Amino acid sequence: MGATRIPGNITQGSTAKGGIGESTLRPDGTLKVTGEFAYSSDMWHEDMLWGFTLRSPHAHAEIKSIDTSEALAQAGVYAVLTYDDLPTDVKNYGLEIQDTPVLAHGRVRHHGEPVALVAADHPETARRAAAKIKVEYVQLPVVHDEQTALAEDAPLLHPGRDDHHAGHVPHPNVVHRQPIHRGDVAAARARADVIVSGEYVVGMQDQAFLGPESGLAVPAEDGGVDLYIATQWLHSDLRQIAPVLGLPPEKVRMTLSGVGGAFGGREDLSMQIHACLLALRTGKPVKIVYNRFESFFGHVHRHPAKLWYEHGATKDGKLTHMRCRIVLDGGAYASASPAVVGNASSLSVGPYVIDDVEIEAVALYTNNPPCGAMRGFGAVQACFAYEAQMDKLAAELGMDPVEFRRLNAMSQGTLLPTGQVVDSPAPVAELLRRIKAMPLPPERQWETAGESADVRALPGGLSNTTHGEGVVRGVGYAVGIKNVGFSEGFDDYSTARVRLEVVGGEPVAVVHTAMAEVGQGGVTVHAQIARTELGVTQVTIHPADTQVGSAGSTSASRQTYVTGGAVKNTCEAVREKVLELGRARFGSYHPAWATAELLLESGKVVTDGGEVLADLVEVLEGEAIDLELEWRHRPTEAFDLHTGQGNGHVQYSFAAHRAVVEVDTELGLVKVVELACAQDVGRALNPLSVVGQIQGGTTQGLGLAVMEEIVVSKEAKVRNPSFTDYLIPTILDTPTIPVDVLELADEHAPYGLRGIGEAPTLSSTPAVVSAIRAATGLALNRVPVRPEHLTGT
Amino acid sequence: MGAMTAVTLHINGERFSRELDNRTTLLDLLREHAHLSGAKKGCDHGQCGACTVLLDGRRVNACLLLAVSMDGTDVTTIEGLSDGNALHPLQQAFLDHDAFQCGFCTPGQICSAVAAIAEARAGWPSVVTAQDEPEGPVELTAPEVRERMSGNLCRCGAYVNIVSAVREVAR
Ligand code: FES
Ligand code: FES
């Protein structure tokens, strides 16, 4: 074993083949199944130190003093850093608003906020030394909900705000507010035969990626630092890290290490700056690995939300209007709150046609844990509420809930509340039809030939709490809409570098991007695209790093679309260069070089008629073609701050779910028997991966429906930071998930594809809750649904 | 540093001997001292199964065992499963069925599955087979696989494919 472990060739040992549309295997899969894949927590350097973060035990307090002397005096301790040790004037960071202190300055605003750092020769030494840092706190009143946040005399989380939202918000404890007005709600409301309203609550969900935050910072001789890290967006990290360190960006060299899941939780920084600060201070490599407890404090969560909705409909089942108010708790720092507000407001109407709407979404600053990106953000919360409303309306009208939805479903050409036209297929009614047409799982599967019941098929399972008595089946449906890519005028682009050369007598393509592979299969797709566009078999995926331009974030379902699009675009440019070379070398031998449409296939230049003109190896003849190009999707625009109008989104993704549950109504136990999904993916570049993404998203939605919630006390303290108290679905909780994939091409997108990762997370949750409502007759306006909500105890 | 104890064990067939702090877990022995980072630390508290390895052929959570109690044992980790260049059938099946996404849980899942299949072949009942008092090998139906693999979390939600990968090898 060498003294250093850093990310290497992730395609090692892979024999994956195949172009787009094929279910090729992951090029990094061989390393993942052999245990050799180097995750961020596996990074290793000889003589490295271990970093530890001292965090605030209080949600809101003034820091009177910090005494680090005893900690520093411990044997094996190399450095103890506080706010006073930060090297430059840049002491905050943040995705959009730089309001997050690298280390607390005079005040802590949430439970678990970083206060000091320790580097020591052993993780335990670092932890013990941190415990010897004396911090004198004076606790302050806590802002923990809308009422306490918006009170006139409310303590301000960020007094003297000067960010770009500060000028238009109604209260300084509101991060961002987005209203949307369209049509004439009063007139439309007067046409309604039925009106239903409700208040809905979504609990705080955690990404709970299995590989905790971790990384290794290695100081370099040029005064810079090399950082090996698990993240979703290397260049966004870099933009935030470098100024705090006082280094030019080129001296902070970042390389993506193995990422043990992300789901939005790695969009913000965690230990990146901390490790670099300690490494630069000590002159030694520093590794930081959060344990599971710390991980619950180390990243932002899904915004908990309160949503008030009113819908009206005519007797014949046509929606008349919608009014809603969505309040998202952003916690102590802004993180992605503004974008979450944008999504929640602009998608609050769901995949339905409603011409008359009044919408308002706000995100609050509170002393609760900071919230930001999690799979489907903003749209997940809204979907739970509007789908509950759809069921209520259908019931009120005596209509079938699926038929009612189909009657009001949006389609291509529908005008959104923002005034934007949906200009690609929107097969909402078709997805609902398909999901309803799927065969239902057999009833009473616990009944056996003998006398005993098969408890595995019952709620409560092996706890043997029922043999079928009190068990009621329920079936529920839901459908949702998610935007794909970064919206609201953000310059959303990706960079791809592609090198084509002959190695060992065979043409080989090297694809180099900064895309964070977090498990979504982006590297699989990149290799497929290169094979298809360049006609090669051998594709090497270069480790993602900051030596190439930004690939944007692995979030917003955007990577296959945008970085995939960038890889395709660069490959096309490389192909043009190949053909230029070919024309120069062989053009005179065959007229087709000048006249025919030429392709690269199976290592050859061929005409579109299939005639072979030359071998790629001969054309290249020892030359390497190496191009790096940026590619961007169609521009979007910001929503008007008063009317909410604007072409804010570039693409949408639709999924529908049918949930079948069995509920032990006496004990309030739920077994999800089946969770079927139909989704339009535009074009499945890799059908195997597509189904895996849909099943994974569906499972996380199930978690939010019946088990996952970070419990925060009135004092704004996190009560359950462990896997024994924060439950995520196990293999036993996960039902069969049949998936029906529809492929209606979006003509604006590369290959017609649609970003797919988030949509299944939206509709899964409301479908499960709808099924539980059907089984129990209860209103259930809150997720997660707990046993006590079903038993009333 | 606390009290130290010498421990000798076999890891993937190779003798490993070291003087270790008594508080060192088997997982830290593997990851920090033997530099075998295949077994993952997802929680360090026996809650996630990412650290699953085989101890004398039986699956254990390496984070819950103290290294000093491992003297004289045989430990197999994910790195010891493949035979030279050829993948272990379960490694191949996980790859073929796309039974992972980020892959962080995968070393634990695969080690767990190796033992689960061996246990079923040896006729060990799981809780779900207990009522039938099986004689001879237990067939790994989907519910059996789910029950026997329920100690291994996968946040990416690759469970459906994990079931099919394990069943394929069990057949
Ligand atoms: S790390 Fe051992 S069970 Fe989670
Ligand atoms: S593959 Fe990511 S946790 Fe299982």
Across chain B, which distance is largest between two alpha carbons, in Å?
52
Q: Does A25 sit within 8 Å of B43, measured CB to CB?
A: no
Q: Are A467 and A705 in contact (CB under 8 A)?
A: no
DSSP structural state of residue B45? S
Note the pLDDT of residue B134.
61
Provide Rg for chain B, Cα atoms.
16
Q: What is the DSSP letter of A544?
A: P
Closest Cα of chain B to A87: distance in Å?
32
Could you tell me the end-to-end alpha-carbon distance of chain B, in angstroms, rounded to an integer? 50
| Residue A436 alpha carbon to ligand 2 centre in Å | 30
**For residue A520, how many C-alpha atoms fall within 13 Å in the half-sphere facing its CB?**
29
**What are the residue ranges in chain A where pLDDT is below 70?**
1-3
| Residue in this structure with the two tokens 């009317």, named with its chain if needed | A643
- What is the B41 CA–ligand 1 centroid distance (Å)? 6
CA angle at A562 for the pair A561 and A564, rounded to the nearest 5°: 70
Residue ranges matching CATH 3.90.1170.50 in chain A: 44-140+212-259+266-298
In order along its 171 residues, chain B shows pLDDT tens digits of 579 999 999 999 999 999 999 999 999 999 999 999 999 999 999 999 999 999 999 999 999 999 999 999 999 999 999 887 799 999 999 999 999 999 999 999 999 999 999 999 999 988 777 655 667 899 999 999 999 999 999 999 999 999 999 999 999
Q: Which residues of A touch B44 (CB under 8 A)?
A: 291-292
DSSP string, A332-376: TS-TTHHHHHHHHHHTTT-SB--SEEEEEEEEE--SSPPEE--TT
Superfamily of domain B89-170: [2Fe-2S]-binding domain (1.10.150.120)
ipTM: 0.97
Q: Of the candidates A744, A761, A762, which has an alpha carbon nearest to the alpha carbon of residue A753?
A: A744
User: Can you tell me which residue has the tokens 């050829």?
Assistant: B86
Q: What is the pLDDT of residue B1?
A: 57
Entry pTM = 0.97
Cα–Cα distance for residue pair A365/A149, rounded to 1 Å:
7
Token readout for A8 is: 């290497």
Tell me, what's the pLDDT at B127? 77
- Residue A1: the pLDDT is 35
Q: Strands A301-302, A371-372: parallel, antiparallel or unpaired by DSSP?
A: parallel
Class of the CATH domain delimited by B4-80 = alpha beta
Q: Which residues of A touch B78 (CB under 8 A)?
A: 33-35
Q: Under CATH, which number does the domain A44-140+212-259+266-298 receive? A: 3.90.1170.50
Find out whether A344 and A326 touch, Cβ atoms under 8 Å: yes
Q: What's the confidence (pLDDT) of residue A9?
A: 78
Cβ neighbour number for residue A34 with a 10 Å cutoff: 22
Residue entry with tokens 């479908």: A767
Which atom, in ligand 1's list, is nearest to the CA of B153?
Answer: 4
Assigned CATH for A493-632: 3.30.365.10
Query: Given this model, what pLDDT does residue A2 score?
Result: 40
Q: Which of A482, A516, A542, A479 is nearest to A209 (CA)?
A: A516
H/E element, A548: none
Ligand lying nearest the CA atom of residue B48: 1
Specify the CATH number for A429-486+647-791; select among 3.40.50.970, 3.40.50.1220, 3.30.365.10, 3.30.70.870: 3.30.365.10
Beta bridge partners of A65: A136
Residue A11: predicted pLDDT: 79
A461 lines ligand 2 (CB under 6 A): no
Pair B105, B40: CB distance under 8 Å: yes
List where CATH 3.30.365.10 sits in chain A: 429-486+647-791, 493-632
Contact residues on chain B for A726, CB-CB shorter than 8 A: none
Which pLDDT score is estimated for B131? 55
**Distance of alpha carbon A265 from alpha carbon A297, whole angstroms:** 11
B156 alpha carbon to ligand 2 midpoint, in Å?
4
> Is A440 an 8 Å CB contact of chain B?
no
**What is the distance in angstroms between the Cα of A43 and the nearest Cα belonging to chain B?**
9
**DSSP strand pairing (A305-313 vs A493-503):** unpaired
Cα A669 from Cα A613, distance rounded (Å): 67
How long a stretch of residues is chain B?
Answer: 171
